């Protein structure tokens, strides 16, 4: 039994990358000893750095120094870069004049920070059960109510409205875009629900901000949390952007130097936000990377990125529909908008093993598992895990076609290599692939690499 590659069919028009990214020419070794261009379909986990970000970091590195802590030239440059990056992040997100931009490690860090700032007497936090763990677990330290989603967005919004109305609510914390399926939630309606009942709203923007422009001032969003590593900006920075009053009144999130005005042996005067929550030496390179990524994305014509991802996702869904045993997952029957994410299962195949096959035999990177969203994945009937293909500015039609071809080959011919479960991860057995030759760091691939505890099989 054979299969017909997508490239040999009457394919739709070619889709080229929108922006150059760092992994555009990366090679992936295969277990048969050959190598191919690496296909990165894992943007939703960590997106590759934009070339513009790489260039900016190279220019900034000679002046890398301590922020807010020196009269030296490099320290002054680093401080100016850090504070200008803060301004750019706020501008990109439509922050109000009195809003605060706190530089964090990532979205998880930002949401944990906000969880410490919700006034104890203001009411509960209300969330949906489809949230990433980062927007589910921090709120459980206080009073939190979880709303099960319905089969439609309309019914889900009605259930959320009823729950917020049922008891005093301080904050509605909701994702702007599902990290599992890429489906978008209607921000205007979510804001209206919160406002109608006197609550504030926080949007988990980790999966939304890299794909769609969000103006929190125009929309009336009180807080938004995001990650640089999902927005084409490496080096471990994220941000919490929003209203000052809760953040000024909250205890310092990370006690230490930089977060205080004055310290004596028995007293401390804390700084105002954002410095109040940025104890320790700030991550200037992470902030510069995030700000540069936002500046670069802002140059794309309105709607171009959404159209690019839509074309790629439609091409992928059409291709998967022709592969036996593949089922695409979605949350709502009436959702009509989503980013470049397509999540699916392959009947009769463990998702982790399929992901290992795609990597080892085809040089394709996807995400498998439960995506740090266990309740949602279980609701979708994929408790043991699924496969997520995600795209962005550097993706092209060939990436999608190679994934479809590889899955068609799996359905028609099976695996061409042996695989073993080792330490909770499916790995080629043996794994003959070489690691890249990185100066000063010798690394190896294979079973010595640990799996995340929540994703292990």
Catalytic residue list: 372
Residue 125 structure tokens:
């936090």
Instruction: Choose among 112, 107, 43, 104: nearest CA to 287.
Output: 104
Give Dmax (Cα) for the chain: 78
DSSP 413-433: H--SS-EEEETTEEEESS--P
Among positive and negative, which fits the CA dihedral 331, 337, 342, 346? Answer: positive
Instruction: Choose among 306, 304, 259, 309: nearest CA to 41.
Output: 309
Quote the DSSP letter at residue 390: E
* Omega before residue 449 within 30° of 0, cis: no
Q: How far apart are the first and last CA of the chain?
A: 31
Using CB atoms within 10 Å of the CB of residue 303, give its burial: 0 to 12 exposed, 13 to 18 middle, 19+ buried. Answer: exposed
Q: What is the distance of C-alpha 186 from the center of its chain?
A: 19
Residue 275 structure tokens:
């410095």
Scan for tokens 């992994």, then name that residue: 23
Using alpha carbons only, what angle is made at residue 131 by residues 155 and 310, rounded to the nearest 5 degrees?
A: 75
Distance CA 135, CA 102 (A): 17
Residue 384 structure tokens:
């043991």
Contacts of 33 (CB under 8 A, 6+ apart): 432
């Amino acid at each position: 039994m054979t299969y017909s590659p997508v490239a040999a069919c009457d394919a739709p028009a070619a889709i080229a990358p929108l922006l150059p990214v760092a992994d555009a020419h990366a090679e992936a070794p295969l277990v048969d000893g050959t190598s191919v261009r690496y296909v990165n379909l894992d943007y939703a986990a960590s997106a590759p750095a934009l070339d513009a970000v790489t260039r900016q970091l190279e220019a900034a590195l000679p002046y890398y120094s301590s922020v807010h802590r020196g009269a030296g030239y490099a320290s002054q440059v680093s401080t100016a870069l850090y504070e200008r990056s803060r301004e750019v992040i706020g501008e990109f997100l439509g922050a109000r004049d009195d809003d605060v931009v706190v530089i964090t490690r990532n979205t998880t860090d930002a949401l944990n920070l906000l969880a410490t700032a919700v006034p104890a007497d203001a009411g509960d936090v209300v969330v949906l059960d489809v949230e990433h763990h980062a927007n589910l677990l921090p709120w459980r330290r206080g009073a939190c109510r979880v709303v099960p989603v319905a089969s439609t967005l309309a019914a889900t919004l009605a259930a959320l409205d009823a729950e917020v109305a049922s008891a005093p609510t301080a904050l509605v914390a909701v994702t702007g875009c599902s990290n599992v399926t890429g489906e978008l939630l209607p921000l205007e309606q979510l804001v209206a629900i919160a406002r109608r009942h006197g609550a504030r709203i926080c949007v988990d923007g980790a999966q939304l901000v890299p794909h769609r422009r969000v103006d929190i001032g125009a929309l009336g969003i009180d807080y938004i949390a995001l990650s640089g590593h999902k927005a084409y900006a490496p080096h471990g920075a994220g941000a919490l952007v929003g209203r000052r009053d809760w953040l000024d009144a909250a205890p310092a999130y990370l006690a230490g130097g930089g977060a205080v005005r004055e310290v004596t042996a028995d007293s401390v005067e804390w700084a105002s936000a954002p410095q109040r929550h940025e104890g320790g030496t700030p991550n200037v390179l992470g902030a510069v990377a995030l700000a540069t990524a936002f500046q670069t994305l802002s140059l794309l014509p309105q709607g171009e990125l959404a159209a690019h991802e839509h074309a790629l996702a439609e091409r992928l869904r059409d291709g998967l529909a022709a592969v036996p045993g593949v089922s695409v997952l979605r949350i709502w029957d009436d959702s009509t908008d989503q980013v470049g994410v397509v999540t699916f299962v392959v009947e009769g195949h463990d998702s982790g093993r399929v992901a290992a096959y795609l990597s080892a035999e085809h040089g394709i990177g996807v995400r498998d598992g439960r995506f740090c969203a266990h309740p949602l994945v279980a609701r979708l009937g994929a408790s043991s895990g699924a496969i997520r293909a995600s795209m962005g500015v550097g993706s092209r039609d060939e990436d999608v076609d190679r994934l479809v071809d590889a899955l068609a080959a799996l359905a028609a011919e099976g695996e061409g290599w042996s695989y073993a479960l080792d330490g909770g991860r499916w790995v080629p057995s043996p794994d003959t692939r070489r690691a890249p030759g990185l100066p000063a760091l010798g690394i190896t691939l294979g079973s010595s690499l640990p799996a995340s505890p929540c994703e292990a099989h």
